[in-house]
């Protein structure tokens, strides 16, 4: 089953590829690697989920925000590759959580994206990962995640 077929089976339609709001590109190839710029939890209405984990947002909502961010990353990957079946493996995720200093559940939040990638890519979706806390993120978004993907030759 292809990643697109898995998404369809899950009832998921990928969002429109995000347009950069600053001087950067949404993706960059380096040999067989596809680097995806950081994305945030953009809702279908165009707004972003904002707030700090441990103060305004709980872990369950943070998980959903990370999953939503994963959809943004998948949309960027599809735009770059034409089809997600060209992904050989998800190599690494860097998940940043807008969190209070004493918040300790960063991995549980970023699991929202990690779980989605395994659902979409199967074993090829398992990846190395960092999940870290930040004092702030652009526009107060709850999470920002970037990814590195290995592309089939």
d(CA 114, CA 72) in angstroms, rounded, equals: 13
Identify whether 19 is part of a domain. Answer: no
> What is the H or E stretch that residue 126 is in?
none
The answer as to whether 61 is a domain residue is: yes
Q: Which domain, by its residues, includes 116?
A: 3-12+35-151
- Spacing of C-alpha 17 from chain mean position: 13
Per-residue confidence band for 54, with pLDDT thresholds at 50, 70 and 90: very high
DSSP 3-state assignment of 37?
A: strand
Please check whether residue 101 lies inside any domain of the structure.
Answer: yes
- Listing DSSP states for 51-95 in one string gives --BTTTB-HHHHHHHHHHHHHHHHHHHHHHHSSGGGEEEEEEEEE
Does residue 8 have a pLDDT over 90? yes
Name the pLDDT band for 153 (thresholds 50, 70, 90): confident
pLDDT tens string 115-127:
999 999 999 999 9
Is 17 a residue whose pLDDT tops 80? yes
């Amino acid at each position: 089953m292809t990643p697109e077929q898995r998404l369809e089976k899950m009832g998921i339609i990928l969002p429109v590829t995000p347009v950069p709001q600053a001087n950067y590109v949404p993706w960059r190839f380096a040999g067989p690697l596809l680097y995806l710029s950081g994305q945030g939890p953009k809702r279908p209405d165009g707004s972003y989920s904002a707030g700090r984990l441990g103060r305004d947002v709980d872990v369950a909502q943070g998980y959903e925000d990370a999953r939503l961010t994963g959809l943004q990353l998948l949309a960027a990957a599809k735009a770059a590759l034409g089809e997600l079946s060209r992904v050989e493996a998800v190599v690494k995720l860097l998940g940043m959580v807008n969190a209070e200093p004493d918040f300790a559940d960063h991995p549980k939040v970023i699991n929202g994206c990690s779980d989605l990638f395994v659902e979409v890519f199967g074993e090829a979706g398992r990846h190395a990962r960092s999940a870290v806390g930040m004092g702030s993120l652009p526009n107060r978004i709850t999470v920002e995640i970037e990814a590195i993907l290995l592309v089939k030759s």
